[in-house]
Amino acid sequence: LVDHARHDLVVLVELAVRVPALAIDVHAFGVARHHLHEAHAALDQAAGAQQQRHEAEAEPAVERGQQAGTGNLERGIEAVIHGGALHKPDIARYPAQAFIDVNVTGTLNLLEAVRLVNPKIKIYNAGSSEIFGDTGGAAANEATAFRPRSPYGVAKAAAVSLVVNYRESYRMFACCGILFNHESPRRGLEFVTRKISHGVARIKLGLDTELHLGNRDAQRDWGFAGDYVRAMWMMLQQDEPDDYVIATGETHSVKEFLEVAFGHAGLDWKKHVEIDPRYYRPAEVDLLIGDPAKARKKLGWTPKVTFAELAKLMVDADMKTLQDQLAGKVNVAQ
Ligand code: GDP
């Protein structure tokens, strides 16, 4: 949808998630309503409708600090996409307890808030393939046991279990996507795919000569994030809520990604990639693969972007961004 609207909805969810107990606080709903109102306005604007209509309706109530009743939420929200969480790379910065506070208690607060305000609001909860831990190379599906191997994975497993519990106890439309690695040009540089695509672009444009990596034999089930968001949307369109593993069902090594990404730029990765022990992981998972059979059968979902297309589109995007930046610098200098 519209970037502003998405941002404000994210803020709402983040508010509910990051501060324990905030979601069921009256004032928090005032704040949340304010953000919702902004989101509405942005959506309306995009549709060419009157932005002022919502301002006139919502602003005074928020200013008076009234409890936001169910009105705006009922009218405004059909579904909450819940992805607010401490993420895996945050493990280096936060203690294990923070993952429980934010990812578990936060999810509980959100479920409870929706149950209290309007249990008809649908919830999509971002699970994670990290809940499975190391399956020893077996493709994980919805029946695979949870054996998480990090506080992040433990928290995501608990949050998924809470969603299932609320769905079964209160008949809420709450579903989980258990997504395997999903990549795009928006991926952070702390993930290996983006680190490589960004590195390729820098080397190609003469800004660098080397790229330092860890274990190049690791294998992952990498898909395109856009395809995975489509699966999320499809889950919310079903008659019944359920949980789905979203993956490509293929696994590829870091080396294969290097081959495609460097090759796409006309470069030989072997001439540029250096092994750096700093990037090796003490508790590495050698191979990850998901089994998306249920999503294929029940949702009719299949990924459209192939592994090679993914690597290439990420390189193209980084090339363009860097070229634009360089052009900008030239312009400034002139
Ligand atoms: P993850 O599957 O969520 O851990 O996604 P990552 O993109 O962080 O890592 C994928 C795989 O790439 C892991 O097996 C890493 O060990 C491997 N890898 C090799 N070199 C690097 C590196 O420099 N950075 C990262 N992030 N991963 C690397």
**In this predicted model, what pLDDT tens digit does every residue of 87-108 receive, in sequence order?**
888 888 899 999 999 999 999 9
> Which residues are designated catalytic?
128, 130, 152
38 in helix, strand or coil?
helix
Tell me the CA–centroid distance for residue 212 and ligand 1, in Å.
12
Q: 171 pLDDT exceeds 90?
A: yes
Over residues 236-287, the pLDDT tens digits come to 999 999 999 999 999 999 999 999 999 999 999 999 999 999 999 888 889 9
If residue 45 lies in a helix (H) or strand (E), which one and from where to where? helix 26-46
**pLDDT confidence band for 15 (50 / 70 / 90):** low
Q: Is 195 in the pocket of ligand 1 (CB under 6 A)?
A: yes
The predicted model scores a pTM of: 0.80
Tell me the CA–centroid distance for residue 279 and ligand 1, in Å.
8
Over residues 122-167, the pLDDT tens digits come to 999 999 999 999 999 999 999 999 999 999 999 999 999 999 999 9
64 in helix, strand or coil?
coil
- Planar angle of CA 275, 149, 298, nearest 5 degrees: 105
- For residue 208, which of 268, 258, 273 has the smallest C-alpha distance? 273
Which backbone phi and psi does 104 adopt, to 5 degrees? -95, -60
Is residue 84 within 8 Å of 10, Cβ to Cβ?
yes
288 in helix, strand or coil?
coil
307-333 vs 254-264: helix axis angle to the nearest 10? 50
Q: Is 220 in the pocket of ligand 1 (CB under 6 A)?
A: yes
